[in-house]
């Protein structure tokens, strides 16, 4: 039994990519006032981006049921 199958690997890549995108959004756009819940701190942006990346990739997963 494989520990890291293809579907899980692709989902982790999506989460990593989303986390990077979340940080880049914080760095380049961010929140100038500090009152924004997601973009006021880099940690929040990274976590939010990782969750969104994971959900986006897993939503388009190929679930074949035989």
| Amino acid 65: pLDDT | 58
Residue 16 lies in a domain: yes
Residue 2 lies in a domain: no
Considering its fold, how many domains does the chain have in total?
1
Does pTM top 0.75 for this prediction?
A: yes
Residues 6+ apart with CB under 8 A from 44: 37, 38
Render pLDDT for 4-49 as a digit per residue (tens, 0 to 9): 677 888 889 999 999 999 999 999 998 878 788 888 899 999 999 9
| Amino acid 40: pLDDT | 86
Residue 3 lies in a domain: no
Q: How many residues in total does the chain contain?
A: 66
Residue range(s) defining the domain that contains residue 32: 8-59
Residue 64 lies in a domain: no
| Tokens standing for residue 7 | 């579907």
| Amino acid 21: pLDDT | 96
Residue 66 lies in a domain: no
Residue 37 lies in a domain: yes
| Amino acid 2: pLDDT | 65
| Tokens standing for residue 52 | 């969104």
Residue 1 lies in a domain: no
Surface-to-core class of residue 35, CB atoms within 10 Å of its CB (0-12 exposed, 13-18 middle, 19+ buried): exposed
């Amino acid at each position: 039994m494989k520990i890291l199958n293809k579907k899980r690997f692709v989902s982790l890549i999506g989460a990593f990519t989303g986390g990077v995108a979340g940080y880049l959004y914080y760095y380049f756009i961010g929140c100038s006032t500090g009152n924004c819940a997601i973009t006021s701190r880099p940690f929040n942006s990274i976590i939010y981006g990782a969750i969104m990346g994971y959900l986006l990739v897993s939503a388009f997963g190929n679930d074949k049921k035989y």
